[in-house]
Structure 1
Amino acid sequence: MNLFVFGLGYSVRQFIDLYGGRFTEICGTVRSPEKARAMQAEGLQAYVFDGASYDPAILDRIARADALLVSIPPVGETDPVLAHFSHAITSAPRLRWIGYLSTVGVYGNADGNWVDETTPPNPASARSRQRIAAERAWLALGGSASFSVQIFRLAGIYGPGRNALEKVADGSAKRIVKPGQVFNRIHAADIAQVLMASIERPSRNAVYNVADDEPGPPQDVIAFAADLLGREPPPEVPFEEADQTPMARAFYADNKRVRNTRIKTELGVTLRYPTYREGLRALLESGDGIMENPDTRFEA
């Protein structure tokens, strides 16, 4: 089975690390020649697509693909992959599965209540509205095609090198407290197993929430990570007093609990890390958060 990836980012690299052996050929796109050379040095064939121009060899790789994974976000009102490659995709003779990586941000704010895949999207930001438009465009592309399209709405991603342990260790962790606020999260390894399960069991026009079992306050995750490392947690800071970027502050406008039932019932997935506790313990055991000199030395 051949896999082509638009956007060889963090989550996709974790997927390839875990399941790359199940594919005959894996290649994908990066935004610059420098990144392409870096990927090739690691043994991964990469082609340049910066959203505006692309390596023509991509067209041949699409034609050879059995599965296509898309992790490139919209640019304004445009999905760059569809804008440049929709004809190549719809005419690809071997293609059977497309996965599009979206975000649970499309649900907007639910005042801390539960949402699932049947909940109508209610995006609050322009970025999330663009995601919904992209989701719909991908589903429409697969509506009458021979391949099936799946949408994966990802919660906040953490994993190796990108987690609360690292933040505590390098001193960048903050415990910002907004009463009643919860965030949803998912370990990168669980994203990977959901994707593999879907490739093995494709379902036309399916939408899946990819989140763990326990939405929770972000400050609790930081405190747990500090405890694992044997450190004092950073002091609590009221949300109103916190020094945050506009984008970071905007995340707190959405407060919801995301159900993950469908990945279990339809794809047969059993989460490796059902809560952040199991995930952070495993990451600590693998060496995350342990630094020789923490004084020099992402999603909670």
Structure 2
Amino acid sequence: MTQFRSEGRPHILIAGCGYVGQRLAARLRDRYEITALIRANDKAAALERQGLKTLVIDLDRPRVGSSIPERLDQEAIVYLAPPPGSGESDLRLDRFLHLAFVPPKSFVYMSTTGVYGDSQGGLVDESTPVMPLTERARRRVSAEEMTRVWCHERRVRRVVLRVPGIYGPDRLPLERLRKSEPVVRPEDAGITNRIHVDDLVSACEAAIENKEARGVYNVTDGNSISSTSFIDLVAELTGLPRPPRVSMEEAQLTFSPERLSFLNESRRVSNDRMLKHLGVTLRYPDLEAGIRASL
């Protein structure tokens, strides 16, 4: 079992400490002792240079005898690692849960609004049945159920954050605009949703610290627009040319299967429960302000 010395502060394990996880660690490190679970030694070394404790475990090929940190004051596990790229279930998460012996007070799992499938532009909320259309989304549904069973058996408070497209610094489609990559014309583009990374970090923080929080929360900024409208707004704010338009029929011939899978789903995602029950105050409810802050 892996042991970490207590520093008198409650402990949080962040599994998958990348774009979101590093920002969450920076937000929490003054109040909590943080350990980042990373799959590669080079990434661990980079985080350690930032002052983070790290644990290297490749969840696709865990070493014999591996375990996550054993701490009786384990405040939370925040699981941000993506599922594997194939299959119907999240074997990566399954292996992680088998390594977690001492239950935390709370388990926060970052899922996706893709579990709702296509509502043809209609509004979905946390009571809407899941209807995943892609393998990627079905893996997320499997993972949500896996965490539900694990947390129920151990009496752990569980929070699932269903997240749409994440944008922020270094996460804007600037390269696509510079290359003049085409987009689907507005009349063919479905409705999509997004969240600024800083507001997503606030949702993770609230999931840990709001002891009444449990169950599923949609995490969005409330701006339901098409991906074409979003890219056009980025172009306008950066002074780059708007991308060329193609019909959906043309897109079917030239776009990647993954990109098409997003275009084939259209939904408006309600964030009422996040605002009223989880208690998140959005820093960027205005999309233009969020894009400007990301540049």
Task: Classify the TM-score, shorter chain.
Answer: 0.7 to 0.9
Deviates more, 1:171-180 or 1:182-191: 171-180
Equivalent residue for 1:53? 62
User: Given the superposition, is the C-alpha separation of residues 62 and 113 from structure 1 closer, same or farther in structure 2, using an over 3 Å criterion?
Assistant: farther
Q: How does 1:180-191 map to 2 (within 5 A)?
A: 181-191=190-200
**Structure 2 alignment gaps of length 5 or more:** 1-9
Equivalent residue for 2:29? 20
Equivalent residue for 1:82? 94
Q: TM-score, normalised on structure 2?
A: 0.86
Q: How does 1:113-192 map to 2 (within 5 A)?
A: 113-165=122-174, 167-168=176-177, 170-171=178-179, 174-177=182-185, 179=188, 181-192=190-201
CA deviation after TM superposition for structure 1 residue 281, in Å: 1.7
- Mapped partners of 1:35, 1:59: distance in 2: 18
CA deviation after TM superposition for structure 1 residue 160, in Å: 1.0
Q: How does 1:1-300 map to 2 (within 5 A)?
A: 1-23=10-32, 25-51=33-59, 52-54=61-63, 58-61=67-70, 65-75=74-84, 76=87, 77-86=89-98, 88-89=100-101, 91-92=102-103, 95-165=104-174, 167-168=176-177, 170-171=178-179, 174-177=182-185, 179=188, 181-203=190-212, 205-242=214-251, 243-283=254-294, 288=295
- Any idea what SS the aligned residue of 2:230 has? helix
- Mapped partners of 1:275, 1:54: distance in 2: 46
- Mapped partners of 1:55, 1:61: distance in 2: 17
User: Given the superposition, is the C-alpha separation of residues 54 and 210 from structure 1 closer, same or farther in structure 2, using an over 3 Å criterion?
Assistant: farther
- Mapped partners of 1:110, 1:198: distance in 2: 27
Aligned length: 279
Structure 2 letter corresponding to 1:208: Y
Cα deviation digits, residues 89-129 of structure 1 (max 9, x gap): 4x34xx21110010000000101100000000000112211
Structure 2 letter corresponding to 1:104: T
CA deviation after TM superposition for structure 1 residue 50, in Å: 1.5
8 Å CA contact retained: 1:183, 1:217: yes
- Mapped partners of 2:52, 2:67: distance in 1: 14
Equivalent residue for 1:294? none
User: Given the superposition, is the C-alpha separation of residues 84 and 69 from structure 1 closer, same or farther in structure 2, using an over 3 Å criterion?
Assistant: closer
Cα deviation digits, residues 154-191 of structure 1 (max 9, x gap): 010011111134643x4365432252511110101011
- Any idea what SS the aligned residue of 2:118 has? coil
**Structure 1 alignment gaps of length 5 or more:** 289-300
8 Å CA contact retained: 2:67, 2:100: no
8 Å CA contact retained: 1:112, 1:181: yes
8 Å CA contact retained: 2:274, 2:280: yes
Q: TM-score, normalised on structure 1?
A: 0.85
CA deviation after TM superposition for structure 1 residue 21, in Å: 2.3
User: Given the superposition, is the C-alpha separation of residues 41 and 237 from structure 1 closer, same or farther in structure 2, using an over 3 Å criterion?
Assistant: same
CA deviation after TM superposition for structure 1 residue 55, in Å: 8.4
CA deviation after TM superposition for structure 1 residue 19, in Å: 3.4
User: Given the superposition, is the C-alpha separation of residues 174 and 61 from structure 1 closer, same or farther in structure 2, using an over 3 Å criterion?
Assistant: farther
CA deviation after TM superposition for structure 1 residue 260, in Å: 0.5
- Mapped partners of 1:81, 1:234: distance in 2: 38
8 Å CA contact retained: 1:210, 1:263: yes
Structure 2 letter corresponding to 1:269: V
- Any idea what SS the aligned residue of 1:119 has? coil
Q: Between the two proteins, what is the percent identity of the paired residues?
A: 32
- Any idea what SS the aligned residue of 1:266 has? helix
8 Å CA contact retained: 1:175, 1:236: yes
